[in-house]
Amino acid sequence: MTYADLRKGRFSEPGREYLVTAVTHGRRSVFDDFHVARLLVHEMQRVESEGKASWLAWVIMPDHVHGLLSLNGESDLAATLNDFKGRSARAINRMLGRTGAFWQPGFHDHALRKEEDRLVVARYIVANPLRAGLVERLGDYSHWDSVWL
């Protein structure tokens, strides 16, 4: 699958909720570093403070991030995520003293349907560290949040 294939059929609707995933370039485990993961959280908060989207649930895994977000106003999903990825890449590369690609091109998204239970989706997202065997209890993992949990 190519980057262009990821964009086929993508439709962005303000107020809609999306399950999104972005993966680091080469699946590097950069978010194992607490400070790098917290810098990504800061950039997620920036998306909210600018009124582009609200993060309803998210988890930062060692080499990727999953989130459930709701677009605000006239925000566009691709523009919002591309801006988030670009700013976070520049900030994290600066912190690590490196240059070059940080994220893989594109992102995966799934627009939630009305009948999909948001709480089930949120639990699925934040349980990723448990399924990956990173922790035995979710409370032992530092990089997740949900408006419901």
The model carries a pTM of 0.90
Could you report the per-residue pLDDT of 40-91, keeping only the tens digit for each? 999 999 999 999 999 999 999 999 999 999 999 889 999 999 999 999 999 9
Measured between alpha carbons, how far is 31 from 62 in angstroms, rounded to an integer? 5
Could you report the per-residue pLDDT of 110-131, keeping only the tens digit for each? 999 988 899 999 999 999 999 9
The domain limits of the chain are 12-143
Cα angle, residue 128 at apex, residues 41 and 49 outer, rounded to 5°: 20
Measured between alpha carbons, how far is 96 from 107 in angstroms, rounded to an integer? 23
Both tokens assigned to 67: 């989130």
68 touches 118 (CB < 8 A): yes
Both tokens assigned to 62: 């060692």
Rg (CA), the chain: 15
Return the CATH number of 12-143, one of 3.30.70.1290, 3.40.630.10, 3.60.20.10, 3.40.50.300.
3.30.70.1290
Measured between alpha carbons, how far is 93 from 101 in angstroms, rounded to an integer? 9
Could you report the per-residue pLDDT of 31-45, keeping only the tens digit for each? 999 999 999 999 999
